[in-house]
Structure 1
């Protein structure tokens, strides 16, 4: 199934996206900045327009009062942004409104998560990937459609969701009939082409609330099966902060499932996967599968950090006991005891170039923290 979501509450969502959605019978979820509505900010939806969207069968969800980075706020400010936004929507639009939430800029941490769970039934991130019946509903994955994303790319996401029977959430912001002048703007003609393709495939279209009703409603990842860093998509709670050239949806060289990570380990660049914080005492090792591509021999290091504090690292060839091989997948299992990281917290996991030079493409798949 697929959900169309629209963030912030820009007026073009009403004037451009709404007619295209309505004419094709596709409901959407609107994540709204409520002070923009209440105070009549220029370029945003009016309260009357929001009420119309609700009456027409769309979901009205929360995106805070003022769209701040929630990780920078005081406890009182955080409470206001979360609570007051939800109450405004339920009071002024409808009692069923404001039940689901998306954090501005995709920014959240353990403090934000603890604050939002009592207020909301779900939390949508901007971590790319698809969702499944057992996806943690407070870390829903969504694919952000910026001005540079092509219609063909979005069609590929839809095809993948159909093939693996997953739930794809697509995120849009503003719309324009001309050439986009901001990263958040998207051409209306491209948007309608995407909607036409959705209709042509017959994939089920749902609001986020409707999609949630079809999941298992998992609110916490089960520690007993390990914590997935990457397995066809980013694991629940992880965000892609990588600064290397990489592809999280590479589908040619795959260990298991539909996709793996393709990665250029050059000049100290790295894959970097960020989490709000994991208790190392719950885990015994870090496991991942690597493929040396056509060259092999890459010098790559796994490193764990808690903020700027290193928790331990090891070259993957050292862990394997031999160089990374070309043309084949190999499992790397690194005990946390070998890293000296058996207690405390880790929030960043790196797979980084260890050569300072230009190296051949490396592939990574089935990246997990193994429980004790």
Structure 2
């Protein structure tokens, strides 16, 4: 049986414990379909819910500077620290994609670039601080191609965590 002093110490320890980020449920943007008020505002060729095995990812292909852009009513991502998604570079891979948060409908310059691998699903975690989005009211996320046209890639399980 714990002593009174041990019990008080245990209770005090609970009071000082920091809340876990796991208490904030993930905000799902896309998982086989757009969710939670997110909409397709892309300026690239985008096909939603393309059957691929047991999933239905988004297929994206575009001209120079085109983008997969997903939009919703603005929100402050309090409690979230990263944007996560699964991406597949398609048959060729190597697309150069800049990931940007959107604030007031405009992309925030972040210089965060990824290059998906060919025929391989990769889980990507982008810290919100890298998107210069911490504490800002975000109303969209964009995966923007660079100065050349790009071959199709596939993306799914997009969410804030």
CA distance in 1, matches of 2:144, 2:106: 16
The 4+ residue runs of structure 1 with deviation greater than 2 A are 308-317
Q: Does 1:362 align with 2:153?
A: yes
Write the mapping of 1:294-305 to structure 2, written as runs, cut at 5 A. 294-305=91-102
Look up the SS of the partner of 2:155 in the other structure. Answer: strand
Deviations 1:186-218 (A, max 9, x none): xxxxxxxxxxxxxxxxxxxxxxxxxxxxxxxxx
Write the mapping of 1:104-253 to structure 2, written as runs, cut at 5 A. 224-252=24-52
> Structure 1's 315 and 342: CA in aligned 2 closer, same or farther, altered over 3 A?
closer
CA distance in 2, matches of 1:310, 1:272: 10
Uncovered stretches (5+) of structure 1, i.e. residues with no partner: 1-222, 318-322
Per the alignment, residue 104 of structure 2 pairs with 307
CA distance in 2, matches of 1:242, 1:310: 13
Per the alignment, residue 351 of structure 1 pairs with 143
> Structure 1's 316 and 331: CA in aligned 2 closer, same or farther, altered over 3 A?
farther
- Please give the root-mean-square deviation of Cα atoms over the aligned residues, in Å: 1.8
Number of equivalences: 139
Deviations 1:16-55 (A, max 9, x none): xxxxxxxxxxxxxxxxxxxxxxxxxxxxxxxxxxxxxxxx
Query: Normalization by structure 2: what TM-score?
Result: 0.78
Q: Which structure has more helix as a fraction of its residues?
A: 1
Q: Which has the higher contact order (CA 8 A, sep 6+)?
A: 2
Q: Which structure has more strand as a fraction of its residues?
A: 2
Look up the SS of the partner of 2:129 in the other structure. Answer: helix
Quote how far apart the aligned CAs of 1:258 are. Answer: 2.9
Deviations 1:71-100 (A, max 9, x none): xxxxxxxxxxxxxxxxxxxxxxxxxxxxxx
Contact 1:243 1:270 in 2 (8 A): yes
> Structure 1's 239 and 330: CA in aligned 2 closer, same or farther, altered over 3 A?
same
Whose radius of gyration is greater, 1 or 2?
1
